[in-house]
Copies of this chain bind each other. A is one copy, B any other.
Amino acid sequence: MERAARPGGPTIAELGESAVLARILPRLAPGDTTLLGAGDDAAVVAATDGRFVVTTDMLVHGPDFRLAWSTPFELGWKAAATNLTDVAAMGARPTGLVVAVAAPPATPVAVLEGFADGLREGLAVLAPGAGVVGGDLSASSVLTIAVTAFGDLEGREPVLRSGARVGDVVAHAGERGTAARGLALLFAEGTDPAGMPDAEAAREVRARHPELVRAQVAPEPPVAAGVVAAVAGATAMLDVSDGLARDARRIAEASGVGIDFDARALGPDLRVALAGAEDHGLLATFQAGTRVPEPFQVVGRVVDDPGQVLVDGERAGADGWDPYAGWDGSSG
């Protein structure tokens, strides 16, 4: 059995749904655009642009996170961060989230409280003004979190994956491989002798490599850089969730171009920088001659090799990440 560092106190089943929600909702700050928050059949959010951007994502205990490795706070933070980055990758300003949680009835309410605190703080740091607009609480044997995030384009056109053109420069903002290094450490050393995730072993990993573990369990992606890139005229952009190589290929295929990375710009460990998933940086292209805005760094150029990813002119492998690959079906 996986051993998690779970708080004690009453469980969801002991308190009942209404009392649990009464403890959770006050921890969630409304957003600047929230016209009507939780408590009715639906919420009402301002969309002064006349359009809204929307993305949804589900996180499942086992394949997507482990309570032995992440605190509830970190889980809430990461749930916010990963969805905010998808909104940012369209060039939109995040305005809010709705969050549905399905949890085992024996889950301590303190787990949900910590999760709510992480959501709130993640929003406050990464997307000030965005709030949690509504939610849902269900029962399941597997802790499962579904986040839907919204954004406002503020009159701009969305930045798609399909807009890169030969001759554009390729730029990246955020970590390159750090989250993957943290996950590899947790898999290698954050386990008990039987190989199951273990909270105590994970604490020791954290003590030795706090930044690598934090990049995995509570990433700080460059959410604000999405609007910055759009304003600067980004021609294409996406959230790097599955690794730089695999996500660059998505721009390459959607745009009918090649993405040629400059190996030196990607740092000393090229393989991890290209293959490492879950950094949630932003990969964007800009017309040549554009002053590429901070925190973006130029890491390559767009070439005429449709659908291909290259490094220093050589075609690269298709490294990436598939949620079904390598998962053995157990939650531990």
Name A residues whose Cβ lies closer than 8 Å to a Cβ of B.
12-13, 16-17, 35-36, 39-60, 62-64, 86-87, 89-90, 92, 98-102, 104-106, 133-142, 144, 146, 148-151, 153, 158, 160-161, 237-239, 254, 322-324, 327, 329-331
Contacts and interface: CB of A to CB of B under 8 A. Distances in A.
A52 B47 contact: yes
A323 B17 contact: yes
B139 A324 contact: yes
Contact of A54 (B45, B60, B140): B45
Given A42-B53, A327-B105, A142 B139 contact: no
* Count of chain copies: 2
A205 to B, nearest CB: 25
Given A48-B50, A140-B142, A331-B141, A43 B55 contact: yes
The 3 closest A-B pairs by CB, nearest first: A146-B146, A42-B55, A47-B47
Contact of A47 (B50, B57, B86, B87): B50
A150 B48 CA distance: 16
A131 to B, nearest CB: 12
- Output the residue of A47, A140, A329 with the most chain B CB within 10 A: A140
Nearest to A144: B144
Contacts of A137: 323
A100 B141 contact: no
A242 B216 CA distance: 40
11 contacts: A17-B324, A36-B160, A41-B239, A42-B89, A42-B92, A56-B134, A59-B138, A60-B140, A62-B140, A63-B139, A138-B323
A234 B20 CA distance: 31
Contacts of A98: 54-56, 148
Given A50-B50, A54-B98, A134-B55, A327 B139 contact: yes
Contact of A105 (B86, B106, B329): B329
Contact of A101 (B47, B53, B58): B58
A266 to B, nearest CB: 22
A41 B55 contact: yes
Nearest to A138: B58
A104 B178 CA distance: 29
A104 B329 contact: yes
B55 A44 contact: no
B324 A42 contact: no
B36 A158 contact: yes
Contact of A150 (B54, B136, B161): B54
